[in-house]
Structures are given as C-alpha cells and as structure tokens.
Amino acid sequence: MKICLAPMDGITDCAYRIICKQIFLQHGHPDDELMLWTEFMSADGYTHNPPGVIKHILRSDYDHETIAQIFGGNPETLIHCAQDLEKKYNFAGIELNMGCPSPKIMKCVAGSGMLRDKEKTLEILKEIAGSISTPFSLKTRL
C-alpha cells in the first residue's frame, strides 16, 4: 500500500516530514511505501529570489524520497525552476500544483487558474516534462 501525505502550505515542512517518516518506520508495514511532498513553492519567487522562498522545499538527507511541489503560470520561470531543482536538490520528483483554488493564485494564472487555457497549459506541461529527467507530475482537484 502507498501512503501519501498531501502537501499543505505552512505544514509539510522538513521537520514535519521527518516526524512522519519516523512514525511510519516504527509503525508501518514493511510492504508499505510512504510518499511525501514539500509545501508548494512559487516558481516566480524561486527564479527571482531563491533564498527567499527555498525554505518551502528544504529537505534533509533523511527525507530524500520527497517530491518538490511548485506552482506558477509563467512557462519560463516554471521551466527554470524545475531544471534548477533537478540540478541542485535531487528530489525524487517534481510536481506542478494545478489545483490551488486561491483567488490570489488563480489571478496569476497559476494553480487551478491554469485550467482556463487548456491548450497553453498542455504546452507548458510538455515543455517542463521535456526539459528535465526527474519524474514530473501534476496535481489538480476535481
């Protein structure tokens, strides 16, 4: 069985993930797999000020299986961010958040705002996936 802990802004930081992993290792079944995500991080913020936003995705060697979650509506900064994360941080995967319904996020054509222009979004997804070798996924909501 896969046990997946969803990313939550302000909650799923490095310390939280380490505690969850320790509990899982003590009480989980050997055949189970624990999957962890970082909080989401703005690709625009990372591109313009990496030290200012990197705290959202910091991880330790103890949680090396973690998937980094990013968001944004600008194709150039999304691609740059994904490539830089792959090069510098060695995450198990990179995920694009296309599910956030926050009006502030949607106003920037990010999160679920990306669903308004499906063709453009599909092109962005193809560009990101084609520019990195790290497993790439996306998160949406129904």
Distance CA 105, CA 82 (A): 19
For the stretch 18-66, pLDDT in tens is 999 999 999 989 899 999 999 889 999 999 999 888 888 888 877 778 9
CATH code: domain 2-139 is 3.20.20.70
142: pLDDT strictly greater than 80: no
Directed axis angle between helix 75-89 and helix 118-131, to 10°? 30
For the stretch 95-114, pLDDT in tens is 999 988 888 888 888 888 89
Within the chain, strands assigned E span: 2-5, 33-42, 67-71, 93-97, 136-139
Per the CB < 8 A criterion, the answer to whether 39 and 8 are in contact is yes
Per the CB < 8 A criterion, the answer to whether 137 and 95 are in contact is yes
Domain boundaries, the chain: 2-139
83: pLDDT strictly greater than 80: yes
The three-point CA angle 94-95-97 to 5° equals 150
Residue with tokens 């505690």: 19
Which pLDDT does position 131 carry in this prediction? 96
Per the CB < 8 A criterion, the answer to whether 139 and 105 are in contact is no
